[in-house]
Amino acid sequence: MEAKGLRAGGIRRKILWSFGMVIVLLVVVFETVFLVTVDQYFEGGAVAELQRRATVKAAVVNQYMKDQNLAEKSRYILETSERGEPVKVEILNLEGRVLLDSYGLVESNWVQTEDVAAARSGQVGVWTGQNEATGEEIAAVSLPLMRGERMSGVLRYTSSLEGVKSTVHEITIAALLVGAMAVAVALSTSLWLAKRIAGPVVEVTAAARKMAEGDFSARAKKRDDDEVGQLAETLNAMAEEVVKGQNLKNEFISSISHEIRTPLTSIKGWSETLVSGGLEDREETEMGLQVIVKETNRLIVLVEDLLDVSKIQAGRLRMEMCRVEVQPLMEEIWKQFRQRAESRGVQLELSLTEEPLLVLGDTNRLKQVLVNLLDNAFKFTPEGGLVELRAERSGREAVLAVADSGEGIAPEELPLITEKFHKGSGKQGGSGLGLSISKEIAELHGGRLEVQSEPGQGATVLVYVPLV
């Protein structure tokens, strides 16, 4: 439980760290862009307003007082300036010395900022920086004052940016608080999502680990109908299939052990009887040898079936395909089993369509299918019963059918009858491989195998093979 908690915590930390980094990065980027935009908007607006007022004043003076000297222009500018404005007006000479300001004082200081230098060269100068006297942030706009065609001085407007900076500072604090709240909400949401994601993943991982260790009784809990839920369903289905396969395999091993032990016991018993009898009783000797041959053939068939199953599972069952005429093949099989049918008191009928049926297949493997089906039919058909071997056409397929009048197959067993290692509950024994091998061979021919049956009314096995 402690390891599980650590793993869950590790997953949550990774998810939370990933979400958190993305969210913080996005908030930082958006906050930076927003604050830069706000700062540029307020400061740019203040500078633009200052430049507009200075430009209007300079244009009026240069237009209507172009023949006046600098002193007369300075007096007019100061007289027309509104009192109490948060803007300071200065008139400078061409050397950059302040002659007069909007407070009516004559200053002896010199101004050498970029805006003044630009105005002295005949351009509009704009500058923002720190006032050396007061230490506050200011914006300055300077324009040339003309007398005729010659420059006579510089008109300079300055305004404090402290109010703008204070407003921007307040907006910055508010934006940072909003950003911090957004990060907190986002991280809380990320933590909740991390728990929602990590919990099911850890549970599915724990179930998968138990399955890997061989505990197929473990099941992954499905919480939601999402990808993790579908993974849990897939793991559970896989575990069920593995358990089902193990059960079938165990049953198969038990059945095969019985099937092998029976002929081996007969062979061993008759061998010991013959050896101890000294082979003097000819009749007994012949009977024993016949039993030994019969049981040996039975073992050979069983081993061949096992080899075929192994090849099919490994994908190594070789098929030698050629054009095969169905009717001659069916006649050959019918003649082969006719004597066996007579000895068992069973009627064997052959029914063939007049239309030629030509398929692409492996002759020996198709014979193997028919032999397996007839073996089953004889096994479950009582004396006096009927076994029918027939061939017909269905669309673009040839149908090879074997029908019997035996006991039939129970409805619950019908879907399982062609599965590997499955043995029916009938009275007759068997390895449970014949129908499974026949189905695989039919599918390797591009066809299919179907079983139709009702209890007490026999069974019919249909093999569909595409026509050429």
pLDDT in tens, 344-361: 999 999 999 989 999 999
pLDDT in tens, 120-131: 988 999 999 888
Q: Where are the domains of the chain?
A: 2-166, 227-314, 322-466
Q: Under DSSP, is residue 423 helix (H, G, I), strand (E, B) or coil?
A: coil
Other Cβ atoms closer than 10 A to 140? 26
Which DSSP state fits 468?
A: -
Q: Quote the mean pLDDT of the chain.
A: 83
Q: Can you give the pLDDT at residue 386? A: 95
Q: Can you give the pLDDT at residue 391? A: 95
Query: Does pLDDT of 6 surpass 50?
Result: no
Q: How far apart are the first and last CA of the chain?
A: 63
Q: Take residue 241 and report the two structure tokens written for it.
A: 């299939």
pLDDT in tens, 50-109: 889 889 988 888 888 878 888 888 888 888 876 656 788 888 888 888 888 876 665 567
Query: Does pLDDT of 305 surpass 80?
Result: no
Of the listed ranges 253-257, 318-322, 395-399, 450-454, the one predicted with least confidence: 253-257
Q: Where are the alpha helices (DSSP H) in 213-281?
A: 227-277
Query: Does pLDDT of 337 surpass 70?
Result: yes
Between 303 and 460, where is the model more confident?
460
| Residue whose pair of structure tokens reads 């209007």 in the numeric block | 56
pLDDT in tens, 348-399: 999 999 899 999 999 999 999 999 999 889 988 999 999 999 999 999 999 9
- Dihedral angle computed from the Cα positions of residues 251, 257, 260 and 261, in that order, rounded to the nearest 10 degrees: -130
Between 45 and 225, where is the model more confident?
45
| Distances, alpha carbon 18 to alpha carbons 30, 193, 418, in Å | 18, 12, 52
pTM higher than 0.85 for the full model?
Answer: no
Superfamily of structural domain 2-166: PAS domain (3.30.450.20)
322-466 placed in CATH 3.30.70.1560: no
227-314 placed in CATH 3.40.50.300: no
Q: Under DSSP, is residue 120 helix (H, G, I), strand (E, B) or coil?
A: helix
DSSP 390-410: EEEEETTEEEEEEEE-SS---
Q: Can you give the pLDDT at residue 335? A: 93
Q: Can you give the pLDDT at residue 140? A: 92
Query: Does pLDDT of 191 surpass 80?
Result: no
Q: Where are the alpha helices (DSSP H) in 65-84?
A: 70-80
CA–CA–CA angle 283, 285, 291 (5° rounding): 105
Between 154 and 101, where is the model more confident?
154
| Alpha-carbon span 53 to 308, nearest angstrom | 101
Q: Can you give the pLDDT at residue 383? A: 92
pLDDT in tens, 404-453: 998 888 888 888 888 765 665 555 555 567 888 899 999 999 999 999 99
Q: Can you give the pLDDT at residue 420? A: 66
Proportion of the chain above pLDDT 90, given as a percent: 25
CA–CA–CA angle 56, 59, 60 (5° rounding): 85
